[in-house]
Chains A and B, each alone.
Chain A
Amino acid sequence: MKALRISVERIVRPLHASELRKDRIREELLSHITAAFDEERAAGFAEPEAAARAAQRLREPPTVTRRLQASIPKSERIMFYPLPYSQALRRFVWTRIQPRAGESALVWSVRISSFIFAIPMAVMMFLVIPLMKASRWNGADSWVHFGFAVPIWLIVSAGIFMFYFVLESFGRSHIRSTPPRKRLPVILCAGVMGSLPLCSGLLFAWICRDRLEFTSGYLAYLTIASVATAVLAPIIGAAHAADAQRWRDWGILDLSERG
């Protein structure tokens, strides 16, 4: 029931804590308030009144929030303390990257990866390079350094595209029980995603061999990225699918714009 979820959100949303912790508290409080609501209904109260009584049983949201906040480790409280304008920035980013109604996993992934590619490129073109030119620009060498950033960032964005495509496709296929044959592109994509950073790194090192010493450093980073991607993708994918299933079960999908 939406009124119960709103009561929980009033308590949980202002917390300075990680999303992981907030999700845990959110689910536990929702489970509690649902049980309280069921008791009130069994006592003969109509739904809206039972929801209001269940919310009152929890105590006033600011008090519960304050006590919950005090129970969160200090390091986490500091780390997730909202900086000025961070909520506005978060809302700006979130409204652009969240899946739109009826949007396919493919279109959504393209949109996110384009967004992630475009922003650093814009920062580099309009901020970093002009600043560098004004201070210690080293002609062709500097252009080479910045030139390398473009394909690398393109590869990263392609990886991000596939990562989100895999995540979202697994999540959606889990919810909608997509036939196995439709999962094949997703599984292929997951395989490519795991090997892409390393293969591109090897290719990059081969092209640049004996010319630029710093390529060995990039190769190391790409190897780490490749291993991390291969390890993280199934873990996050599985968690994503489980979350999607749970969220559908307890109807929190319509509260997905979380702060």
Chain B
Amino acid sequence: MNPIKGDILRGHLEPLILSQLDRGGGHGFEILRRLEQAGEGSLQLKEGTIYPAIYRLEQSGLVRGEWEENSGRRGPRRRIYHLTPKGRRQLAVGRADWRRFVTVIGGILEAET
């Protein structure tokens, strides 16, 4: 199967991030790993593009970020993101929209002529 690359994912990346944060808080690198695991190797994301999406979600109040403190590791701090109640509601809307999209488009694509 062909890998799903960045451009196809545009527009879906934000709900995908929300879905991974629904499983628990995580930093950017961790969110990316979770997405790759969930995609079973079919998702090919360029890693730098996840941060603009996260920042947009944070500005919209859908996720909340906080710097990791006292982790015991040296080097730059990681920023841990959590889903907000508003983000949880948005995720539910995103899931409903996706089901509708799959039903409609799937119905068209799979219809036999």
Interface residues of A (CB under 8 A from B): 11, 24-25, 27-32, 34-36, 57-59, 63-64, 67-68, 70-73, 246, 249-250
Could you tell me if B51 and A31 are in contact, using CB atoms closer than 8 angstroms? no
Q: Are B29 and A29 in contact (CB under 8 A)?
A: no
Closest 5 CB pairs of A and B: A58-B48, A59-B46, A64-B48, A71-B52, A67-B52
| A72 contact set on B, CB distance < 8 A | 55
Among residues 42 to 96 in chain B, which have CB atoms less than 8 Å away from a CB atom of chain A? Answer: 46-49, 51-53, 55-56, 59, 74-79
Cβ B55 vs Cβ A57 within 8 A: no
The A interface, classified by DSSP as helix, strand, loop or mixed, is helix
Contact B76 A31 (CB under 8 A): yes
Q: Does B28 contact A (CB under 8 A)?
A: yes
Q: Are B47 and A34 in contact (CB under 8 A)?
A: no
Which residues in A have their C-beta under 8 angstroms from that of B78?
28, 31
Interface status of B27 (Cβ within 8 A of chain A): yes
**Contact between A67 and B49 (Cβ–Cβ < 8 Å)?**
yes
Residue of B nearest to A73 (CB): B59
In the assembled complex, the CB of B15 is this many whole angstroms from the nearest CB of chain A, namely: 16
Among the interface residues B49, B53, B55, which one has the most CB atoms of the partner chain A within 10 A?
B55
Nearest residue (CB) in B for A67 is: B52
* Given known A-B contacts A28-B28, A68-B55, A71-B56, A59 and B48 have beta carbons under 8 A apart: yes
Q: Is there contact, CB below 8 Å, between A31 and B74? A: no
Q: Chain B: how many interface residues by the 8 Å CB criterion? A: 19
Per a CB cutoff under 8 Å, which of B49, B52, B75 touches A34? B75
Separation of A156 and B78 alpha carbons in the complex (Å): 39
Q: A64-B48, A71-B52, A73-B59 are in contact. Are A250 and B28 (CB under 8 A)?
A: no
Among B27, B56, B76, chain A packs the most CB atoms within 10 A around the CB of B76
Known: A71-B56, A73-B59. A28 touches B46 (CB 8 A): no
By a CB distance below 8 angstroms, the chain B residues around A24 are 79
A28 to B58, CA, bound (A): 14
Closest to A11 in B: B48
In the complex, the answer to whether B52 meets A68 with C-beta atoms within 8 Å is: yes
Q: How far is the CB of A73 from chain B (nearest CB, A)?
A: 7
Provide the bound-state CA to CA distance between A63 and B51, in Å: 12
Chain A residues in 8 Å Cβ range of B77: 27, 31, 246
A57-B47, A71-B55, A250-B76 known, 9 other contacts, Cβ within 8 Å: A27-B77, A30-B75, A32-B47, A36-B47, A58-B47, A64-B49, A67-B49, A68-B51, A71-B51
Contact pick for A249, options B28, B49, B56, B75, CB 8 Å: B75
> In whole angstroms, how far apart are the Cα atoms of A59 and B74 in the complex?
25
Complex-state Cα separation, A29 to B46, whole angstroms: 13
Does B29 contact A35, Cβ atoms closer than 8 Å? yes
Q: Which residues of B contact A249 (CB under 8 A)?
A: 74-75
The listed residue with most B CB atoms (<10 A of its CB), out of A30, A35, A58, is A35
Contact B47 A70 (CB under 8 A): no
Q: How far is the CA of A146 from the CA of B79 in the complex (A)?
A: 51
